[in-house]
Structure 1
């Protein structure tokens, strides 16, 4: 068992590039961009902007979205490079399988499944909550009356509306990719049109006085409004808002799962990721700006801010136009959240790491039918029995872990020599006595000899430096999360340790940056390597450590279930593992035949002499 685990840790996917796809290649740049926008531009605009403005950041919610956009952009750039390297279905799962190893890839894939299930369920539940708010909470009242669920870890009532809505879109996804993307494209256009109407309507009623409300002018019945002005909750509120707004950008990675259904994946997927992130940011920034200009931040509605805004402004026609647009937007967001899940299940099933039946492609529809049906039923069930807050608590951790692994993979592959150079196996050699001193080690770490060619030795050095950087990032972020008030000269031990950790981080990043890179030509490359991937790692670890203990506990339970499936099924049915075992058996048989031939020749020589 131990040897199998070690083999799984080291073996990598080799047949990921090239070969004919079993899926239908029908998606162009417009389809991919619309998929990314539709998957992401939903709850963030129609719920999150008002919610964060009201209780977390105030009018400075626009700055919170800007910070969240920067955090998402660095991850998006890493995804874009990997999409140009590995144009296959499976997203970060395949990327990590190629560059890190099977076991790590399985962990990432298992957590992507969690992310997409919860993402789908949370959008469906948000859709129902939005509709219920406009219907004066009639849905909640009736379902609670007829089907009460009095368990603290479940919703107050089973949300059948969310369940059936998920099932309807599941059927649409089963029929075909092109049919579902047509639906997505039409609704995305309606979504962007609605946002344009909001920008014009709310902008028409903009009043900068709503950004300058003094604390004493805030109504007495408002219990939570901070200090007033543009920054009512201070810098801490902006950062807390950024942490929440970050989840509004989760979804662009849906584009990266379409590698086998895109017409030109190596060019169109990176472009679609970058374009969709720009569109999403400008929509969030614009909506959050006009929303707080048109109406005081403390009086925003947390569940349906835009329709309630136009109701307060006395524009009922716009209220219902925006309501219809919001329904369309949340529909596309739900479709975008559901779209990647069966693709990840398909990729993992095709590799043999989870049950093989999930990789079956329907001969007529050219979609992973069973994986899609299973995804829809599971997501619909979770949407029905859990409330929105419980779902959102688990939404981020799988995403952040996936983003972190992708950033690490960028560093690993950027400094990895290509296959044509591997024959020049280069190891650290010691020719002279002085080669073992500290000066030579210093020259090696910082490449003071100005080597221009990436070799196996520089690659190994980069991997070690990346591993050390990741560990130091966890320590660095732990200081910021758990001991930020103690980082001062008045606490000398913590202050010195923080300074040393910070310096060590910078030194490790410098060591990585000094190594020669692979000159492989790609349609897109992350700029400013290693700074961008390293920044992505630090940001993601910081946000992961901000999650509460209950989220980590549920995450560990999910991992235990995944490990049981892997160690009792996946490790034995892995396609790559089976291939490598067969290759090993062939080599052993060849060696055995050679030894038999040598022994036979020796016996014949002895016989002839006698």
Structure 2
């Protein structure tokens, strides 16, 4: 049994041609860049920045962003080469199938569920908290703690909307499930319509981020940046989910900064989500590299400036309790006197921004499973297209239920860490994939080439591996368990139904086949 059977480039290119039974090509370069920015600027900048600063890096979260950005930039160059060369849906899964074989492709395809599906869940949880902040700000009401938090969380807040609910345990996060349902229905309607909504949201939230940086700079308190890294003797902080011990290895100093990089790394996953939409791009060979690299560079600059301002406004420990998920609004309201209106505007912008991130994550997840289904590795239901909208509507509905289970019942800290380690693993394999393909197929047409690939690829893989190493034993155990489930499915179903193994070469453009369209 050959576990590393490969899918040929010619087969992939044949499958990339548009037809009545394939995904519709509707996205231009502007929409691709906006998709990247839409996914990148969201939970990372508004939630994970404060979490990384409060728990691990302190004001040095700016350095954490630089480390994470370096790993992403190197991986991004590899993604850009693959996306220009193999312009079909599937992202890292598809790339791995052509370079490292089916078994590795399955591993990465299964791993991408951690990135996209759980990424959507993490952002939906953040959306829920800001929605409550919106209700309190504009209507002086809020959804009870029990109905907007997971069963693993207990209210410890002594101020703000949950002050009267101290000791209350969560039951289900209903607002998170609500936003997932709304965006799922939009995605079923069509990718072009979803892209238009996303473009509008991107313009609004980028404008708000620039306003926070520009107006907040004058309120930076230099004392909040001293010391720049968390010292070992910083003490402990009690949060809703437990106690943060700064004396722990990865909660102070340079190791804390590295752990912070693995946390804020979640903030960058949007750029590779662009690659999942390759089969819906009008001119993928030229536009995909631009969409990936421009969105990544633009957002990196914003992240560093924003994190510098945020940690300068408030002491990093306050982000763990008083600020929590709504840390940005808290910092503006508390420390930027006279700018309460900006806090209100930020709440609205963040709700819209989070929505665009969830939109892109759900889009990316279903496109990966669409391609895996076309290959026979998962059941045909995931490649069933809507007869009118030509979107994988059954897959969208399935992932609405799946993602809702995590968003409704698991804390964002747990889900977010699972997303980070899963994404890092995918990036490692993409970097290695370029090295393999350059050696084995040097004559392939490459509209975009990764510069200095003998340096970029190994260095990108090493940086991502270093961030994975800082994730902690619990997170590694979750990854191992998730991969074990994937192995069970692969050897129980996928290996028996693989089209490559069975010699099937048909694509969705071939004569009617119930596997591809309904």
TM-score, normalization: structure 1? 0.71
Q: CA separation in 2, counterparts of 1:213 and 1:570?
A: 53
Q: Which residue of 4, 12, 15 maps to 1:9?
A: 4
User: Which residue of structure 2 lines up, in the alignment, with residue 240 of structure 1?
Assistant: 259
Q: Give yes or no for contact 2:134–2:344 (8 Å, CA) kept in 1.
A: no
Is 1:272 aligned to residue 291 of structure 2?
yes
Is 1:141 aligned to residue 141 of structure 2?
no
Q: Give yes or no for contact 2:236–2:246 (8 Å, CA) kept in 1.
A: no
Gaps of 5+ in 2: 155-168, 238-243, 507-518
User: Which residue of structure 2 lines up, in the alignment, with residue 309 of structure 1?
Assistant: 331
Is 1:211 aligned to residue 229 of structure 2?
no
Gaps of 5+ in 1: 418-517, 583-610
| Residue 204 of structure 1, CA deviation | 3.2
Alignment partner of 2:280: what SS? coil
Of the structure 1 ranges 88-97 and 376-385, higher mean CA displacement relative to structure 2 is found in 376-385
User: Which residue of structure 2 lines up, in the alignment, with residue 556 of structure 1?
Assistant: 480
Q: Which residue of 198, 201, 213 maps to 1:199?
A: 213
**What are the residue-to-residue correspondences of 1:28-427 with 2, within 5 Å?**
28-132=28-132, 138-143=142-147, 149=151, 156-212=170-226, 233-300=252-319, 301-312=323-334, 313-314=336-337, 315-417=339-441
**What are the residue-to-residue correspondences of 1:559-578 with 2, within 5 Å?**
559-578=483-502
Q: CA separation in 2, counterparts of 1:525 and 1:208?
A: 43
Q: Give yes or no for contact 2:42–2:353 (8 Å, CA) kept in 1.
A: yes
Q: CA separation in 2, counterparts of 1:86 and 1:332?
A: 26
| Residue 142 of structure 1, CA deviation | 4.7
Of the structure 1 ranges 563-572 and 72-81, higher mean CA displacement relative to structure 2 is found in 563-572
Q: Larger RCO: Structure 1 or Structure 2 (Cα < 8 Å, ≥ 6 residues apart)?
A: 2
Q: Give yes or no for contact 1:13–1:102 (8 Å, CA) kept in 2.
A: no
| Residue 56 of structure 1, CA deviation | 2.5
User: Which residue of structure 2 lines up, in the alignment, with residue 587 of structure 1?
Assistant: none
Question: Over the residues paired in the alignment, what is the CA RMSD in angstroms?
Answer: 2.9
Q: CA separation in 1, counterparts of 2:504 and 2:363?
A: 32
Q: Give yes or no for contact 2:67–2:261 (8 Å, CA) kept in 1.
A: yes
| Residue 233 of structure 1, CA deviation | 4.7
| Residue 211 of structure 1, CA deviation | 3.1
| Residue 202 of structure 1, CA deviation | 0.3
Moved over 4 A (4+): 133-138, 147-152, 212-215, 220-227
Q: Give yes or no for contact 1:54–1:302 (8 Å, CA) kept in 2.
A: no
| Residue 519 of structure 1, CA deviation | 4.9
Task: Give per-residue Cα distances to partners, 1:94-125, cap 9 Å, x unaligned.
Answer: 10111111111111111112321111111101
Alignment partner of 2:89: what SS? coil
User: Which residue of structure 1 lines up, in the alignment, with residue 25 of structure 2?
Assistant: 25
Q: Which residue of 535, 539, 548 maps to 2:463?
A: 539
Task: Give per-residue Cα distances to partners, 1:385-432, cap 9 Å, x unaligned.
Answer: 212122123212321221111111100111124xxxxxxxxxxxxxxx
Q: Give yes or no for contact 1:123–1:334 (8 Å, CA) kept in 2.
A: yes
Q: Give yes or no for contact 2:150–2:409 (8 Å, CA) kept in 1.
A: no
Q: CA separation in 1, counterparts of 2:488 and 2:225?
A: 54
Q: Give yes or no for contact 2:499–2:505 (8 Å, CA) kept in 1.
A: no
Alignment partner of 1:24: what SS? coil
Q: CA separation in 1, counterparts of 2:77 and 2:38?
A: 19
User: Which residue of structure 1 lines up, in the alignment, with residue 512 of structure 2?
Assistant: none
Task: Give per-residue Cα distances to partners, 1:29-84, cap 9 Å, x unaligned.
Answer: 11111111111111121122223333432222222211211111111111111101
Q: Give yes or no for contact 2:205–2:349 (8 Å, CA) kept in 1.
A: yes
Q: Give yes or no for contact 1:13–1:576 (8 Å, CA) kept in 2.
A: no
Alignment partner of 1:271: what SS? helix
Q: Matched residue pairs, number? A: 465
Of the structure 1 ranges 55-64 and 364-373, higher mean CA displacement relative to structure 2 is found in 55-64
Q: CA separation in 2, counterparts of 1:64 and 1:151?
A: 27
Report the CA distance shift for 1:226/1:351 in structure 2 as closer, same or farther (over 3 A).
closer
Which of the two has higher C-alpha Rg?
1
Report the CA distance shift for 1:244/1:360 in structure 2 as closer, same or farther (over 3 A).
same
Q: CA separation in 2, counterparts of 1:555 and 1:226?
A: 25
Q: Give yes or no for contact 1:33–1:272 (8 Å, CA) kept in 2.
A: yes
Report the CA distance shift for 1:239/1:214 in structure 2 as closer, same or farther (over 3 A).
closer
Q: CA separation in 1, counterparts of 2:152 and 2:360?
A: 32
Report the CA distance shift for 1:212/1:125 in structure 2 as closer, same or farther (over 3 A).
closer
Q: Give yes or no for contact 2:263–2:420 (8 Å, CA) kept in 1.
A: no
User: Which residue of structure 2 lines up, in the alignment, with residue 443 of structure 1?
Assistant: none
TM-score, normalization: structure 2? 0.83
